[in-house]
Amino acid sequence: MVRLPGRGRGSRRTRAGLRAGGLLLVAAILLAVVLVSVSVGSKAIPIDVVWRAIVDNDGSYDAGVVWDQRMPRTLLGAAVGAALGVAGALMQALTRNPLADPGLLGVNAGASAAVVGSVLLFGLTDLSDYVWFAFGGAAIASVVVYVLGSAGRGGATPVRLALAGTVVTAVLSGLITAITTTDAKSWQLMRFWTIGSLVNRGVDVLLQVLPFVLIGLAIALVLTSSLNAISLGDQVGRALGAHVGRTRILAGLAVVLLCGGATAAAGPIVFVGLAVPHAVRAVVGPDYRWVVPYSMLVAPILLLGSDTLGRVILSSGELEVGVMTAIVGAPVFVYLVRRRQVTRL
């Protein structure tokens, strides 16, 4: 069969148009989830009232609840979700490991160890105080993992990074256990923080971590073409003109900023960074020019949806978002594995 001139180009344009339209649809779904998240709580507020309060704050009681209590939590959840989803996509591209998630580079363990250390050494108990220790610990752990994975001949290979992350996580986890079993205050704090939660996170926490998350997202978007190249292997990436070393360093920096900020703000939240990139690739394919922006929007939908569900699933109280993402995300991930979609990077 003779291929008509321009047919392949037109087909690519059609696929790009469909993906762009899908991105707009996902953005609309995210907006709807945000409105529902703000609406649900101990006192239900109708969505039309929520919308009016957002557009025009009239100073009413409902508007005060929307802006002072629920909007900061929802916006923080959206930022944390976007950070974890994009960080997961970056880590899977860097390590060429379909099971990579924000815990692979020791980020969660580093943040947790820093929080425990700050409580033990300085007596910090307020989130706005120890959030910076959590971020610093996540960053230091990631750097240590990269240095260990880069040592020796061959540089930082995916296998070495995974092994280094496992070692650092094991060491830090042992240190955390040793501290928390001997210090009651550290144990009480870690019991709450390691679950992963958006409760009692105000606008101050959002403003502290948002600059780091935004910078990380910007770096990730800039690197999408290079990620496509290096995901095929270092040699192929170089042949395609990608600067493998520079791409890895910048992508690693983005992971530190994204994971560190998200973990510092909400604690370690599982399955978002692992499952969302797989779900996205199953729909849009392996092109990181689409995987990254889709993950940026789909992950907040999963996290905010889980957080909202956790508020209504119990008759009294609520389930923390870290618990809900595990409950919701695990079946989704198993379904993707069974459909053999996860092996395609």
Contacts 24+ apart (CB under 8 A), 20-29: 22/283, 22/284, 22/294, 23/290, 23/293, 23/294, 23/297, 26/294, 26/297, 26/298, 26/301, 27/297, 29/301
Question: Domain ranges in the chain?
Answer: 72-337
pLDDT of residue 158: 66
What residues contact 228, with CB distance under 8 A and at least 6 apart? 286, 287, 288, 289
DSSP state of 320: -
Confidence class of residue 328 from pLDDT cuts 50, 70 and 90?
confident
Please give the structure tokens belonging to residue 301.
């939908």
For the segment 59-106, what is each residue's pLDDT rounded down to a tens digit?
788 888 888 889 999 999 999 999 999 999 998 888 777 777 777 678
Q: Which residues contact 304 (CB under 8 A, 6 or more apart)?
A: 30, 33, 34, 37, 74, 77, 78, 81
Q: How far is the C-alpha of 336 from the C-alpha of 332, rounded, in Å?
A: 6
Query: In angstroms, rounded to a whole number, what is the distance separating the alpha carbons of residues 265 and 84?
Result: 12
The residue whose two tokens read 């094991």 is 170
Q: Hey, what amino acid is at 125?
A: T
Encode pLDDT of 203-258 as tens digits. 888 988 899 999 999 999 999 988 888 777 767 667 767 777 788 889 888 988 89
Alpha carbons 75 and 162: distance in angstroms, whole number: 32
Closest alpha carbon to 103 in 252, 283, 259, 303: 259
Report d(CA 260, CA 263) in Å as an integer. 5
Handedness of CA 3, 290, 164, 300 (dihedral sign): negative
- Residue 220: name the closest of 26, 87, 75 by CA: 87
CA distance 140 to 117: 14
pTM: 0.86
What is the 8-class DSSP label of residue 126? -
Percent of the chain with pLDDT over 70: 89
Rounded CA-CA distance 273/259 in Å is 9
With beta carbons less than 8 A apart as the criterion, state whether 78 and 215 touch: no
Is the pLDDT score of 344 beyond 60?
no
- Residue-level pLDDT at 2: 40
For the stretch 159-188, pLDDT in tens is 777 788 889 989 998 988 888 888 777 777
CATH of domain 72-337: 1.10.3470.10
